[in-house]
Structure formats: C-alpha cells, structure tokens
Amino acid sequence: MAASAMIIRLAQDHAAALQTLRREALTLHPSAFSADPDLEEKLTLDDWRKRIESAAWFGGLVDGELMAMAALTVEPSKKLRHTGHLASMYVRQNYRGTGLADKLIERILEHAADHFEQVMLTVEAGNSRAIGLYERHGFRPIGGIPRSILVDGKYFDEVMMLLALPRKS
Ligand SMILES: CC(C)(COP(=O)(O)OP(=O)(O)OC[C@H]1O[C@@H](n2cnc3c(N)ncnc32)[C@H](O)[C@@H]1OP(=O)(O)O)[C@@H](O)C(=O)NCCC(=O)NCCS
C-alpha cells in the first residue's frame, strides 16, 4: 500500500468525493454492482450525506484523495441485525493490486467484529479478482443467484459469500 494511504470511516464531508467514486464504479463496472446508475444520478449531495450516516462507509485515502470505498450495511429488522452486508467495494484502477483493498477489508472486518455475528456479500460469479480478495479474508461461498443482475439484456449470476465472526461473550 502507498505510504501515504490510509483507511478512514467516511463522514458527511466526504459526500462529494463518494458520489464521484460511486459514479465511476457504476459506469466502469456495471455488472459488479446491482445499483441502478440512473437512480443514483438523481441523488443530491444531501442524499449522499444521509447515505453516509445510514451505514458504515469506509474509504481508502491516498494523499488525501478518495481512491477506494466500501460499506457495511444492516437491515432494519431486529431479527436481521446480527448480519452485516459488505457492499460497494471499489478500488480505483491505479491502486488495484497494491494492498489497499486488503487494508479496507481488514478495517471493515474490525468494525464488523464489534457489531455483527456474520458478514454477507454478493459478488458477480465471474468476478474472480473480487472473489479471490474475499476468500483471502475468510469469506466462503454459500450459494448462488442465477441471472441476478441484468445489464443491457445480458444476465449475470451472483455468488453469495459469508464470513462467520467469533461471537462476543
Ligand atoms: C474487486 C477489487 C476491489 C479488488 O481490489 P484489487 O486491488 O484489484 O485486488 P487485490 O487486492 O486482491 O489485488 C489483486 C492482485 O494484487 C496482488 N496484491 C494484493 N496485495 C498486494 C500488495 N500489497 N502488493 C503487491 N501486490 C498485491 C494480489 O496478489 C493480486 O495479484 P494477482 O491478480 O496476480 O493474483 C477491485 O479489483 C475493483 O475495484 N474492481 C472493480 C469493482 C468490483 O468488482 N467490485 C467488487 C464488487 S462485489
């Protein structure tokens, strides 16, 4: 990881940088994210500030610039609150293969260990780079969702992955 890189929990004043990074991620990798880019384009900066507050967003900063992001979300039902959902994992092209993605996941799992009993995610079945990253951090495939994502008339399957966290006594 670049010496000047650091992982931080994002706050409301990162809304503009996060919006830009998300726009880039959804544009360059449409099958890697289930979010609808047209709907996201309608979100205002204020919406992004609320989004940042409604989940735990983490970012990888290099020289103060946001180069990577990921979020841990949770369903509101108290029956589901023991599971965190890892989403929106993205590292800018120039910083791939540098260890920034590892650092981001490590930080997220640190946070998850304090709040959840397990972490789930879904990843496009052909995204071997992302799957390799998640496996390296202990996630295991637990099932698949055929034809989960539809982009421009083409279907993509997804794999669900789970990491069980040690239960706090
Ligand atoms: C998925 C994603 C976040 C993974 O990040 P990444 O930096 O590409 O992946 P890794 O950290 O696993 O690194 C990949 C390569 O760098 C190597 N690497 C990792 N850490 C390294 C380090 N500290 N120094 C040198 N090389 C390193 C890995 O060994 C791997 O090499 P390989 O491809 O030859 O096997 C990134 O590729 C990405 O943003 N992709 C587009 C969006 C996406 O698919 N998101 C996932 C949605 S579920």
Q: What token pair was written down for 27? A: 């544009």
- Which pLDDT belongs to residue 18? 98
pLDDT digits (tens, 9 = 90+) for 136-165: 999 999 999 999 999 999 999 999 999 999
Strands of the chain, DSSP E: 5-9, 56-62, 65-73, 83-91, 118-124, 140-151, 154-164
The fraction of the chain above a pLDDT of 70, given in percent, is 97
Residue 169 lies in a domain: no
Q: What's 132-162 look like in SS3? A: HHHHHCCCEEEEEEEEEEEECCEEEEEEEEE
Indicate if ligand 1 lies below 6 Å from the C-beta of 12. no
Q: What token pair was written down for 119? A: 């972490």
pLDDT digits (tens, 9 = 90+) for 31-83: 999 999 999 999 999 999 999 999 999 999 999 999 999 999 999 999 999 99
Q: Read off the CATH number of the domain in which 146 is found.
A: 3.40.630.30
Query: What is the number of structural domains in the chain?
Result: 1
Determine the structural domain holding residue 30 and report its residue range. 5-164
Q: Which atom of ligand 1 is nearest to the CA of 133?
A: 12
Q: Whose CA is nearest to atom 36 of ligand 1?
A: 91
Q: Which strands sit side by side in the sheet containing 83-91, from one edge to the other? A: 5-9, 56-62, 65-73, 83-91, 118-124, 154-164, 140-151
Residue 10 lies in a domain: yes
Residue 24 lies in a domain: yes
Distance CA(26)–CA(34), nearest Å, equals: 9
Distance CA(29)–CA(68), nearest Å, equals: 14
Q: How confident is the model at residue 3 (pLDDT cuts 50, 70, 90)?
A: low
- Which pLDDT belongs to residue 167? 75
Indicate if ligand 1 lies below 6 Å from the C-beta of 115. no
3-state secondary structure of 85: strand
User: What is the overall mean pLDDT for the chain?
Assistant: 96
